Amino acid sequence: MSIHGNVITALTGLLLLSSCFHKDVRTDNIASSIIYQDEEGDYIICKEVIFQATSKSSKGGFTQISGYNEYRISSYDMQTGKLL
């Protein structure tokens, strides 16, 4: 794997482990990500998945949650980790 690939893998892992926050909504998953570089710096752009629960039921020790996924695009400064 190239250095670029290792950086993407490491940053994606960090974002998943840190439970990305944006508008006070936790990201459930990162569907995909890319690194963008320009003269001002390096950025990671993520397509994030947020599960929206619509119903929840429990029976016999099992819980079932129904809902749908929403998607959003977020950009992070790779030097600071700040959401842009």
| pTM given for the model | 0.59
Nearest CA to 8 out of 50, 43, 49 is that of 43
Phi/psi zone of residue 61: left (φ > 0), alpha (ψ -120 to 50 degrees), beta?
left
pLDDT in 10s for each residue of the chain, 84 residues: 455 555 555 555 555 444 444 455 677 889 999 999 999 999 999 999 999 999 999 999 999 999 999 999 999 999 998 998
Using CA atoms, how far apart are residues 69 and 51, in angstroms rounded to an integer?
4
Using CA atoms, how far apart are residues 21 and 26, in angstroms rounded to an integer?
5
Identify the burial level of 68 via C-beta atoms within 10 angstroms of its C-beta, where 0-12 means exposed, 13-18 middle and 19 or more buried: exposed
Residue spans per domain, the chain = 3-77
Is residue 44 within 8 A of residue 9, CB to CB? The reply is no
